[in-house]
A and B are shown apart, each in its own frame.
Chain A
Amino acid sequence: MSVANRPVHRPLSPHLQVYRRQLTSVLSILHRATGIALAAGALYLAIWVVCAASSPATYAGFQSFNTSILGRLFLGGWLFSAFYHLSNGIRHLFWDAGYGFELKDAYRSGWIVVGVSAVATLASWIVGLR
């Protein structure tokens, strides 16, 4: 085996399942999960405008999914993912700029993110389904 391919045996840090669940780690995992969901949501958005550009019948078919229970859950999930990933993303940008690293601040901003995304999702459900 060449030197370049030889495995390096360095000590490993304890892995995920060793740690107790806490707000900061749950929010971090949720950021990635909502990011993946929004990637799928962006494709859905592209399908939406393509349907709108084709024919009334195609668009009606697309809309019939949106107004179904599954479609409503999907759109509601999209909105929650968008609001969560948006507000937590702003939290990440502050960290990138070097602010809010104290444990107390990380928890406070974390709860703000939870509050903002919950309120924004509920408000858009109420307005959207009126």
Chain B
Amino acid sequence: MNGDLRSPLARARGLGSAKQGLHHWWAQRITALALIPLVVWFAVSLVLMSGADYGAVRAWIGSPVVMVLLILTIAVGLHHAQLGLQVVIEDYVHADGAKLALIVLCRFIAVLFGLAAIVAILSIGFGG
């Protein structure tokens, strides 16, 4: 009882902390911080690359520094996106089954597209 600010009913319902509350919040902030330079770099590159042809785009993607930054941008960006979409889903979808299904679907799509992008970037850089 001591130090517990919840009402007796809230405690009885047993829906207290799962001890992971901060992890999601923290991961969202850390990925946000990492995305500041990455998104600025990518947006500027995208604008400067406007009108570039197939060969020029592949040469750009395949250069070592761009490969690293692009993989980071896509991986961190998709992680951040999936964390954000989870919050949106939790806010608006109240049926437990649909909520869980949508969150899992977002994660699957993020991992699938992220992995496809990474394989594509590596194959451009190393394959030829």
Contacts and interface: CB of A to CB of B under 8 A. Distances in A.
Answer yes or no: are A and B bound together in one complex.
Answer: yes
B47 A52 contact: no
A67 to B, nearest CB: 9
Interface of A: 3-4, 8, 32, 35-36, 38-39, 42-43, 45-47, 49-50, 52-53, 56, 59-60, 63, 75, 79, 82-83, 86, 89-90, 92-93, 96, 120, 124, 127-129
A42 B57 contact: no
B85 interface: yes
Interface of B is mostly: helix
Contacts of A75: 46
B12 interface: yes
Interface residues of B, number: 42
Interface string B93-128: 000000000000000010001101101110110010
Contact of B116 (A8, A46, A79, A83): A46
Interface of A is mostly: helix
A35 B12 contact: no
A43 B109 contact: yes
Contacts of A124: 43, 47
Interface of B: 9, 12-15, 29, 32-33, 35-36, 39-40, 43, 46-48, 50, 54, 57-58, 61, 70, 73-74, 77-78, 81-82, 84-85, 88, 109, 113-114, 116-117, 119-121, 123-124, 127
